[in-house]
Amino acid sequence: RFRNPQEGSVIFDDKIRGPIEFSNQELDDLIIRRTDGSPTYNFCVVIDDWDMEITHVIRGEDHINNTPRQINILKALGAPVPEYAHVSMILGDDGKKLSKRHGAVGVMQYRDDGYLPEALLNYLVRLGWSHGDQEIFSIEEMTQLFTLDAVSKSASAFNTEKLQWLNHHYINSLPPEQVAVHLSWHVEQLGIDTRNGPELVEIVKLLGERCKTLKEMAESCRYFYEEFDAFDVDAAKKHLRPIARQPLEAVKVKLAAITEWTTENVHNAIQGTADELGVGMGKVGMPLRVAVTGVGQSPGMDVTVHAIGQARTLARIDKALAFISEREAQQ
């Protein structure tokens, strides 16, 4: 055991909470070595901090009661006492300490869930710390502006919606090339072969506004690279009806006639079809969207069709027309 002083107090200036005092009479002679000879936590961390020349110990407020014990051991060893800062615990939405019950996970899980490093860092630094009303911080700004005396003494609640908002911001504000590097990992996890399709940089540009996470983006980009087995039931029921046959056949002719496959030419083909049929763009665009993507939502049809490619687009329109014929035959 460590023989704790019986008189006096341990006083330390917590860099977040201010002066904290413990009477030595409240502290027991704590065990520093177990019966099997192994050292206990409070002894290990003291030796480790001393050996590593730690100047600041920043940890959760649940360690405040350990601090006077560790300071007494440090003083007994003649070791320098570091500065201490005890951060408030992170709470769940119910106001209770964040735990696995709330979905608390390791940092790498956030990578797996599709969060960018910049977004997670930005969110964590703002969890209990502020610099005016500023919400967005680059890593350089975090380094320059962060101070312990600006950390709140009150507990902060983890807000997933706020994290998603920040992630969406960084997906759309960072260079697409940088985001694409992170996206490639998620695409690989899903087994998507991107060799026969647009560059991932283009996917970031196309889907960035629509996706809150990179995992969502990876799952949403399948139709640019892979054939789908079936159309979304609700989308097909609404848009792949017999009335859609004429617009699909007409737009297919115009798309097939394009010799230079550009977004502008694709747009002109879709718009030209609507003009010739005397209908709104939606009467052509929505059946075309379901035909080439399999779902009812996507980026603009001109950029989507262009990214999917001419041959694949024409083949999928044929598939949609066959689907319409099958529905007619069953009625």
Q: Residue 155: what are its φ and ψ, rounded to 5°?
A: -70, 150
pLDDT at 96 over 70: yes
Give me the sign of the Cα torsion angle 206, 215, 186, 125. Answer: positive
Interval 55-69 mean pLDDT: 96
The whole-model pTM stands at: 0.85
Interval 3-13 mean pLDDT: 95
**Structural domains of the chain sorted by starting position, each given as residue range(s) with its CATH number in brackets:** 9-87 (3.40.50.620), 100-168 (1.10.1160.10), 175-224 (1.10.8), 233-330 (1.10.10.350)
Interval 158-182 mean pLDDT: 96
Question: How far is it, in rounded angstroms, from Cα 194 to Cα 323?
Answer: 27
DSSP per position, 81-103? PPEEEEEPPEE-TTSSBP-GGGT
Mean pLDDT for the chain? 95
